[in-house]
């Protein structure tokens, strides 16, 4: 905001400088041509009616036989010639060619310079700037010459504009910056409070200060935070009740299954009840993830991942772990264990085997689960993280699950400030990578 105001003031001053410079150029042109046109018209009128002929060695307007301006060494100004022709035409004076030559003044002139100017009819009329020699051709009657002052652009205009800009910045910009800062501070506090807001974490209400609209916005944010917290509390109570109500009949069903005489049917029923319990746990975990009850603690990430791998080894799965150094991280261990377990479970289910390694970088840590499966089509990479989405189209739970594993793992990792990526390897297989900030 402050930068935009400063830039706007600079642009305004630049436009002002351009206008002043244009006016100064027009003023210098008028200063050089208007008196000249008047003197020439008066001199020609006196010559015609009063019998006072123009000579080469007397008067402001002199008549010479040839153009006194050398073809080189003098700076030409065609804009002066055009403006002078227009002003002479307004006074009824018609001339032929008009030539101009600018001779800069010097601090010390030689006798030769003075003789040259005297022969050409040049008068030193402008000691502080330069002298503009103007020659007008009168066909058949020679050339009329006259000198005019030609002010040189000095530093005074630039210094005045710079001083004006500095005063403008001090008088206007500084108070505006103070006002903008006073108005933006409550908005910055509101933004930071919104970024820090975590349901379930107690925090004092934000003070309502600043302009009326900003104070009203802060008050609305405080009320919204209370409503969101209340709704999440109600959701947790509802989920707890649902979990209790569903687990009770499942436990009763599990007891009744024991009375089934057929061993094959009894085993299938037990597996079905166990799968229903796991599904219920996944759904409740995913729904409650925004308000975890487990506090963050300092853990050894390499040891945590190694322990998860050992659990799969105990079940007879082909899972290996690449030894890594101790790596202290602050996270929720139970949730992170579950995320890693879900990735390894997918790798074993779809890719036969899994190799797990922990790679520590300067800014982040990566947990890589590499399988030997067919990989995932590139156009379906994003779909596998959607809840209840399965790339395996059969209804067999042994080959596909219910589609919550990756969704739950992604939610856990994002809650920890990280991200999950899936990368197909060129040689075959898939890498599931958990990236966590250090």
Q: Quick one: 10 and 138 in the same domain?
A: yes
Same domain as 317, residue 279? no
pLDDT number for residue 119 = 52
Query: Do the strands 430-437 and 419-424 form a parallel or antiparallel pair, or are they unpaired?
Result: antiparallel
Position 391 scores a pLDDT of 59
Query: How many DSSP H helices and E strands does the chain contain?
Result: 11, 11
Tell which of 246, 261, 287 closes a domain: 287
369 and 406 assigned to the same domain: yes
Q: Report the number of distinct structural domains present in the chain.
A: 3
Q: Which of 226, 254, 287 is the last residue of a domain?
A: 287
417: left (phi over 0), alpha (psi -120 to 50) or beta: left
Q: How much is the pLDDT for 158?
A: 72
Is the same domain home to 301 and 405?
yes
Task: Supply the pLDDT for residue 397.
Answer: 47
Q: Is there a single domain that holds both residue 237 and residue 348?
A: no
pLDDT band at 212 (very low <50, low <70, confident <90, very high): confident
Other CB atoms within a 10 A radius of the CB of residue 329 amount to 21
Residue at 276 is within a domain: yes
**Predicted confidence (pLDDT) at residue 123 exceeds the cutoff of 60:** no
pLDDT band at 307 (very low <50, low <70, confident <90, very high): very high
Domain of 302, CATH number, reads: 3.30.565.10
Q: Decide which of 287, 315, 337 is a domain's last residue.
A: 287
Q: Are strands 354-360 and 319-321 parallel, antiparallel or unpaired?
A: parallel
Average pLDDT, the chain: 81
Q: Scanning the structure block, which residue is given the tokens 């050992």?
A: 310
- Higher-pLDDT residue of 165 and 89 is 89
Q: CA torsion, points 44, 46, 51, 56, in degrees to nearest 10?
A: -50
* 324 domain residue, yes or no: yes
Tokens of 254: 């599990």
- Is residue 168 a part of any domain in this protein? no
How far is CA 218 from each of CA 179, 183, 192, 223, rounded to the nearest angstrom?
Answer: 19, 13, 12, 9
124 — pLDDT class (breaks 50, 70, 90)? very low
pLDDT value of residue 328: 92
Shared-domain flag, residues 231 and 339: no
Q: Are strands 98-104 and 130-138 parallel, antiparallel or unpaired?
A: antiparallel
Domain housing 82: 2-153
Which of 17-26, 174-183, 426-435 has maximum average pLDDT? 426-435
Task: Give domain status of residue 106, yes or no.
Answer: yes
């Amino acid at each position: 905001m402050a930068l935009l105001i400063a830039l706007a003031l600079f642009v305004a001053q630049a436009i002002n400088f351009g206008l002043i410079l244009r006016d100064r150029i027009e003023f210098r042109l008028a200063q050089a041509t208007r008196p000249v046109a008047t003197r020439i018209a008066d001199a020609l009128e006196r010559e015609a009616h009063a019998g006072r002929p123009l000579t080469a060695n007397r008067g402001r307007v002199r008549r010479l036989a040839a153009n006194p301006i050398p073809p080189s060494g003098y700076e030409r100004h065609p804009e002066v010639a055009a403006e002078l022709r227009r002003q002479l035409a307004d006074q009824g004076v018609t001339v032929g060619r008009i030539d101009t030559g600018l001779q800069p003044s010097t601090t010390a002139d030689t006798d030769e310079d003075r003789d040259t100017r005297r022969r050409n009819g040049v008068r030193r009329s402008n000691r502080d700037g330069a002298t503009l020699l103007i020659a007008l051709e009168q066909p058949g009657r020679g050339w009329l010459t006259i000198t005019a002052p030609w002010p040189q652009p000095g530093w005074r205009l630039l210094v005045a504009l710079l001083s004006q800009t500095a005063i403008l910045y001090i008088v206007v910009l500084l108070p505006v910056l103070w006002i903008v800062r006073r108005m933006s501070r409550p908005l910055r506090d509101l933004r930071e409070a919104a970024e820090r807001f975590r349901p379930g974490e107690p925090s004092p209400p934000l003070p309502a200060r600043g302009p009326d609209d900003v104070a009203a916005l802060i008050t609305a944010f405080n009320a919204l935070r209370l409503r969101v917290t209340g709704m999440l509390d109600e959701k947790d109570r509802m989920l707890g009740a649902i979990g209790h109500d569903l687990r009770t009949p499942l436990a009763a069903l599990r007891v009744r299954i024991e009375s089934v005489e057929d061993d094959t049917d009894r085993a299938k029923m037990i597996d079905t009840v166990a799968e229903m319990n796991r599904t219920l746990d996944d759904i409740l975990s995913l729904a409650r993830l925004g308000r975890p009850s487990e506090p963050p603690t300092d853990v050894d990430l390499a040891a945590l991942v190694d322990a998860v791998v050992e659990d799969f080894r105990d079940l007879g799965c082909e899972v290996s772990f690449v030894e890594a150094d101790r790596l202290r991280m602050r996270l929720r261990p139970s949730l992170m264990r579950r995320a890693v377990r879900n990735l390894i479970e997918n790798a074993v289910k779809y890719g036969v085997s899994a190799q797990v390694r922990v790679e520590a970088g300067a800014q982040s840590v990566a947990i890589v689960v590499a399988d030997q499966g067919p990989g995932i089509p590139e156009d379906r990479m994003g779909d596998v993280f959607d809840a209840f989405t399965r790339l395996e189209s059969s209804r067999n739970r042994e080959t596909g699950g219910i589609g919550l594993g990756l969704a739950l793992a992604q939610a856990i990792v994002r809650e920890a400030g990280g991200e999950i990526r899936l990368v197909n390897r060129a040689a075959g297989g898939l890498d599931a990578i958990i990236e966590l900030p250090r």
